[in-house]
Structure 1
Amino acid sequence: MASITLEKLVKRYDKVEAVHGIDLEIADGEFVVLVGPSGCGKSTTLRMIAGLEEISGGALKIGDEVVNERAPKQRNIAMVFQNYAIYPHLTVRQNIGFGLYTSKLSTAEKNARIDETGRILGLTDLLERRPAALSGGQRQRVAIGRAMVRNPSAFLFDEPLSNLDAQLRAQMRVEIKKLHQELKTTTVYVTHDQIEAMTMADRIVVMKDGYILQTGSPVELYENPVDVFTARFIGSPSMNMIPSKSLAAQSGSLSGIENQLVGVRPHDLIVGAPTDQAILTIEGKVEAVEPLGPETMVHMRVEAEAVIATSPGNEAPPVGSMVTCAVAAGKLYLFDAKTEMSLGRK
């Protein structure tokens, strides 16, 4: 295992700079998720760590050594790609052991590693099957096993679950997290899915346009986003972002927040909640409802703004009706309307 350090890391394609001098320290054994929209630089950063993209500026350290000029095979890092590309004509055992083909281990040692990897990944009974006889989730585990059997210093995952259906993605999230907890290998994981980031990461790195906007634990980013982008990107459904002028006619303690953006998460904007202790009450017209079992998401219009609130249980207000929602103290997020930077909570 090893730490990974990015110091003023830059990536340029001709005259276009895709990653702008980012700094990041990943501790030995940490599970870090790079998250952001397409084109934000997260996969490019991962590929620079792997040695698959040339570094245009800055330094990349694995442990205490600068590895800018080292070839991928010299970095002792294993990468799992979105398209796992296991070999269809080889068995699971042969696919997992493929990464050991050029190693100097004895046959007995290689087989021991493959057997142990198969045990950890729940593939023991499938080792003699070929990929055609496996499910999508099992094939992804084989791809992980092929990386894992080499005993690398770090794992790199590039959106490995995006080709799986929703149920398999949820299952594989748990399996990868359990794998990390058992192996404690430094892991860098790239995704555009904030749910994957929230449920898997020790620490999340939010990226946009080649910059790092914020790093922190899932709870830190959810509770204390530094800007509008992070506030809306982390959390599902996204945080409501309402210009203060659209709330002028609403009741509550809104003095002194003119020309600001008011953020409130849908789960904190409760339909029919008591209003006597609320910092803000919002009235809107219901446009659609989404019953989800334990709660119902209520889509409504407040002045000209689309807002999402939560109704407890299976209580779905009629479409077209007017509803009143309450926000408790400490649940309002304030942002500067021009810079979109956080101004704290209210």
Structure 2
Amino acid sequence: MATIELKSLVKSYGRTEVIHSIDLEVPDGEFVVFVGPSGCGKSTTLRMIAGLEEVSGGEVRIGGRLVNEVDPKARNIAMVFQNYAIYPHMSVRQNIAFGLYTSKMSKEEKNAKVEDAAQMLDLTNLLDRRPSALSGGQRQRVAIGRAMVRDPAAFLFDEPLSNLDAQLRAQMRIEIKALHQRLGTTIAYVTHDQVEAMTMADRIVVMKDGHILQAAPPMEIYDNPVDVFTARFIGTPSMNILPARQTGAGMELAEGAPAVLAGLRPADLRVGETPQSGGMVLSGTVTAVEPLGPETLVHFETGGHAVIGSAPGHEIPAIGSTVTAVTAPGKVHLFDPETEKATGRA
């Protein structure tokens, strides 16, 4: 296990700088997840940690050792890719053992490590199968097993679940998190799926345009996003952002130049509840509904803005009807309309 440190890290392609002097420390044993839209620099950052991309400036340290010029194989890390990268002509046993190809262990020691990894990943009964006879989730576990047997100081995952269907993704999220709890190894994980980030991470690193916007535990980012981009990126459905102004104890929708941007989580914007003193009240025409069982997402239009609120699961308003939605005091996130930085709550 090892701490990963990024100090003033820069990546350039020619004259184009794509990672802009970022700083981050991933403590020993932490599960950190990098999230952001395509092109934000999250995979490039991971590949610089792995040694697959040259560092243009700054430092990468693993376990306190500067590794800028160290070959990937000498960094004592293991990387699991999106495409599994397992060999179709080899059995599961041979694929897992391939991680020990350059090891000086005895054959018996190698076999024992393969058996241990297979048992931990529920692959024992599949060791003699070829990858073509496995499901997508099983193939991903083989790739993880091959990385595990090396006893790396850190695991690096680059969007490992994006090729799986929704049910398998949910299952593998749980399995990878459980694996981390058993091994206690440092993990840096890249995904564009904020659900993966929220459910798996000890800490989330939100990136945009080669910058780190916020690095904090999942619920800290959900409850206290530092800016509009982070607020909208973390949380499903996305936070409503509306022009607003203060009125008495609460907020109201503003026309023209807003005094503030109001951020309303759909889960906090409750359709049909009685307005309270403070918070924000919105009325509008229902344009769509999404019954989800325990709740119904209600899409409505108010003042020319598309908004999403929530109602109890069996209370499904008709399309075209008028609804009123309210937020409780303290649930309105406030952002500066020029900088889009968070300024507080109302």
TM-score (norm 2): 0.97
Asked if the contact 1:35–1:191 (Cα under 8 Å) also holds between the matched residues in 2, the reply is yes
Match of 1:128 in 2: 128
Q: CA deviation at 1:254?
A: 2.3
What are the ranges of 5 or more consecutive residues in structure 1 without an aligned counterpart? none
What's the secondary structure of 1:276's corresponding residue?
Answer: coil
Alpha-carbon separation, structure 2, partners of 1:242 and 1:235: 17
Q: Name which of structure 1's ranges 308-317 and 155-164 shifts more when overlaid on structure 2.
A: 308-317
Asked if the contact 1:60–1:68 (Cα under 8 Å) also holds between the matched residues in 2, the reply is yes
Match of 1:194 in 2: 194
1:49 aligns with 2:46: no
Asked if the contact 1:7–1:23 (Cα under 8 Å) also holds between the matched residues in 2, the reply is yes
What are the ranges of 5 or more consecutive residues in structure 2 without an aligned counterpart? none
Q: CA deviation at 1:259?
A: 2.0
Runs in 1 of length 4+ with deviation above 3 angstroms?
255-258
What's the secondary structure of 1:28's corresponding residue?
Answer: coil
Q: CA deviation at 1:85?
A: 1.9
Partner AA of 1:275 in structure 2: P
Asked if the contact 1:91–1:130 (Cα under 8 Å) also holds between the matched residues in 2, the reply is yes
Match of 1:253 in 2: 250
5 Å-filtered alignment, 1:87-98, equals 87-98=87-98
Q: Deviations over 1:251-270 (max 9, x none)?
A: 96128995211000000000
Match of 1:229 in 2: 229
Q: CA deviation at 1:326?
A: 1.1
Alpha-carbon separation, structure 2, partners of 1:217 and 1:211: 18
Alpha-carbon separation, structure 2, partners of 1:30 and 1:87: 30
Percent identical across equivalent pairs?
65
Match of 1:27 in 2: 27
Q: Deviations over 1:148-202 (max 9, x none)?
A: 1111000000000000000000000000000000000000000000000000000
What's the secondary structure of 1:254's corresponding residue?
Answer: strand
Asked if the contact 1:11–1:56 (Cα under 8 Å) also holds between the matched residues in 2, the reply is yes
Alpha-carbon separation, structure 2, partners of 1:254 and 1:41: 37
Alpha-carbon separation, structure 1, partners of 2:277 and 2:337: 27
Partner AA of 2:173 in structure 1: R
1:329 aligns with 2:326: no
Partner AA of 2:216 in structure 1: G
| Corresponding residue pairs, total | 343
TM-score (norm 1): 0.97
Match of 1:270 in 2: 270
Asked if the contact 1:264–1:331 (Cα under 8 Å) also holds between the matched residues in 2, the reply is yes
Asked if the contact 1:298–1:311 (Cα under 8 Å) also holds between the matched residues in 2, the reply is yes
Alpha-carbon separation, structure 1, partners of 2:50 and 2:165: 27
Match of 1:241 in 2: 241
Q: CA deviation at 1:64?
A: 1.3
Match of 1:118 in 2: 118
What's the secondary structure of 1:175's corresponding residue?
Answer: helix
Match of 2:296 in 1: 296
Asked if the contact 1:252–1:280 (Cα under 8 Å) also holds between the matched residues in 2, the reply is no
Q: Deviations over 1:51-110 (max 9, x none)?
A: 000000001111111110000011000000011121111110000001111110000000
Q: CA deviation at 1:276?
A: 3.4
Partner AA of 2:76 in structure 1: N
Asked if the contact 2:100–2:110 (Cα under 8 Å) also holds between the matched residues in 1, the reply is yes
Alpha-carbon separation, structure 2, partners of 1:279 and 1:86: 54
5 Å-filtered alignment, 1:103-182, equals 103-182=103-182
Q: CA deviation at 1:313?
A: 1.6
Q: CA deviation at 1:213?
A: 0.2
Partner AA of 1:61 in structure 2: R
What's the secondary structure of 1:244's corresponding residue?
Answer: strand
